[in-house]
């Protein structure tokens, strides 16, 4: 059978896409406004106490506001539909936003350490700690609510920029929590060196979070495999499985912002005509575009079956069958992605291309 390829690009149901885009923009705009208010409150607390720990919290708030402002621009650009110059959309802009935000988180952590390290060895008296504690605790509570909500919206709308912003807010919560604990201990013990020590510990946690955000952003820019999309595709293919779909292999899936793309090889009966294979590939595309959330494009390469696959095929009647069916392939991430790399699954001489974990015994 001649090779046949078909690309189907879609932004999904129009109403749902528009609703998700509006939700992303509203969420990040609220994050920006609330972040600006909390930043002002934290700098007020620092001016009252002269605490390095509170200053570390306030410095991170600056990063929150700058990153949220950049994320607003990013989401506006990422929501643009595909065009001739950007046929896969503008979603990768979100990875730049996440990488930028992660880098700012790392810089904030280093700035905090630089500010607080000297105060461990040369502590200074602190004033108005009670007021500073109340302001910091209140800001932390607000950020906790905002962070959880923003991450929820980010996951619901498949926005890495929103998810990164929410994670950044949660690191701010850890910062505020650490500051509150440290200052409370300072008030109880009189050990003013705890102020600088707590700030450094908080900075270490922030640094770890920033590295994680940058790593995730690089993964998206390099078309890292998305396990959730692979799983969703395998589930949809299994649920709608037809006897004509003999095998699936070389499945790949990746994301561009909130949109996902996939391609794979689909083994169909060898006696079928070119038109039959074309129509069946189109039907599979329609199933996947409907069933897999966020899937914007899928490319299917039909392959003809051969006698090696007879033991795994239960199609009946079959004009070219050479052996009875003894097992049927279960499509999962391991079996459906076979063939992308030659060494992905060890194959002994004389074995059919399959994985034992992907078989389900059945009577011939």
pTM above 0.85, yes or no: no
CATH of domain 13-221: 1.20.1510.10
pLDDT (tens digit per residue) in 60-108: 787 778 777 877 777 777 777 777 887 777 777 778 777 887 888 788 7
Q: How many Å apart are CA 284 and CA 262, to the nearest integer? A: 12
Confidence (pLDDT) at 342? 52
CATH of domain 226-361: 3.30.70.1350
Confidence (pLDDT) at 285? 92
Q: The dihedral of CA 309, 310, 315, 321: what is its sign?
A: positive
Q: How many Å apart are CA 12 and CA 294, to the nearest integer? A: 7
In the chain, count H helices and then E strands.
Answer: 9, 6
Same fold, 13-221 and 226-361: no
Please, how many CA atoms are within 13 Å of residue 28, restricted to the half-sphere of its CB?
Answer: 28
Q: How many Å apart are CA 233 and CA 349, to the nearest integer? A: 30
All structural domains of the chain with their residue ranges: 13-221, 226-361
Confidence (pLDDT) at 281? 92
pLDDT, averaged in runs of 10, over the chain (364 residues): 39 57 82 88 86 77 78 75 76 78 82 79 74 86 91 81 81 80 81 80 81 83 82 92 88 82 91 91 91 86 85 78 79 81 44 41 39
């Amino acid at each position: 059978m001649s090779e046949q390829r078909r690309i189907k690009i879609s932004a999904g149901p129009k109403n749902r896409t528009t609703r998700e885009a509006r939700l992303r923009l509203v969420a990040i705009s609220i994050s920006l406004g609330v972040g600006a208010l909390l930043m002002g409150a934290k700098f007020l607390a620092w001016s009252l106490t002269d605490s390095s720990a509170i200053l570390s919290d306030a410095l991170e708030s600056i990063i929150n506001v700058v990153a949220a402002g950049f994320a607003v621009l990013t989401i506006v650009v990422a929501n643009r539909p595909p065009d001739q110059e950007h046929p896969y959309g503008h979603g990768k802009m979100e990875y730049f936003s996440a990488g930028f935000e992660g880098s700012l988180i790392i810089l904030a952590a280093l700035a905090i350490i630089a500010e607080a390290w000297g105060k461990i060895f040369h502590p200074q008296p602190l004033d108005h700690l009670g007021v500073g504690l109340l302001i910091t605790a209140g800001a932390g509570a607000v950020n906790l609510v905002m962070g959880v909500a923003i991450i929820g919206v980010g996951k619901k709308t498949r926005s890495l920029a929103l998810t990164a912003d929410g994670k950044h807010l949660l690191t701010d919560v850890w910062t505020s929590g650490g500051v509150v604990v440290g200052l409370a201990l300072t008030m109880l013990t009189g050990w003013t060196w705890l102020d600088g020590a707590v700030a450094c510990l908080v900075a270490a946690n922030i640094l770890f979070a920033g590295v994680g955000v940058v790593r995730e952003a690089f993964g998206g820019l390099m078309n890292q495999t998305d396990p959730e999309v692979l799983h969703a595709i395998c589930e949809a293919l299994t649920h709608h499985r037809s006897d004509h779909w003999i095998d699936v292999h070389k499945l790949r899936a990746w994301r561009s912002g909130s949109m996902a793309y996939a391609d794979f090889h689909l083994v169909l009966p060898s006696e079928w005509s070119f038109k039959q294979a074309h129509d069946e590939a189109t039907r599979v595309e329609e199933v996947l575009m409907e069933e897999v959330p966020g899937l914007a494009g899928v490319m299917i390469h039909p392959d003809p079956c051969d006698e090696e696959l007879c033991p795994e095929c239960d199609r009946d009647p079959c004009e070219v069958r050479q052996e009875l069916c003894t097992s049927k392939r279960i499509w999962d991430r391991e079996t459906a992605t076979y063939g992308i790399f030659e060494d992905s699954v060890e194959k002994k001489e004389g074995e059919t291309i399959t994985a034992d974990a992907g078989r389900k015994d059945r009577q011939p």
